Amino acid sequence: MTLDVIKRFHDTGVTQEQLNSAKAYIKGQFPPSIETSDELASQVALLEFYGLDQGEITGLFAKIDSMTIADANRIIKQYFPQDQMVYVLIGKASEIQAIAATLAPTVDRKSISQPGF
């Protein structure tokens, strides 16, 4: 399903309705993340850690509102290129190798007991 969504975004782009919905969702999720003193302190600590100032919070909604369809489509093409996808499949290799073969020409298999898994 995810691959179908990415393909559709590459083929037809984001609609204004989708962009408006995403903006409303993000704006609706932010206030609860700073409701308590602890949550606000955590946000301030993150700003400090990343070398950012309070403008990142006070200007957040303006940044969200300034996002355009062209911006969204550029980001999709830049960060979700269809020809350079990397897939991580976890399961019994014997059962999922046929699926893996449909996604990529080469498949690296690792056992969960291998170092670096």
Distance CA 9, CA 78 (A): 12
For the chain, domain boundaries: 2-82, 86-117
In this structure, the number of other CB atoms found within 10 A of the CB of residue 100 comes to 16
For 50, phi then psi, to 5°, come to: -90, 5
CATH 3.30.830.10 fits 2-82, yes or no: yes
For the segment 53-95, what is each residue's pLDDT rounded down to a tens digit?
A: 988 888 999 999 999 999 999 999 999 988 888 888 888 888 9
- pTM for the structure as a whole: 0.70
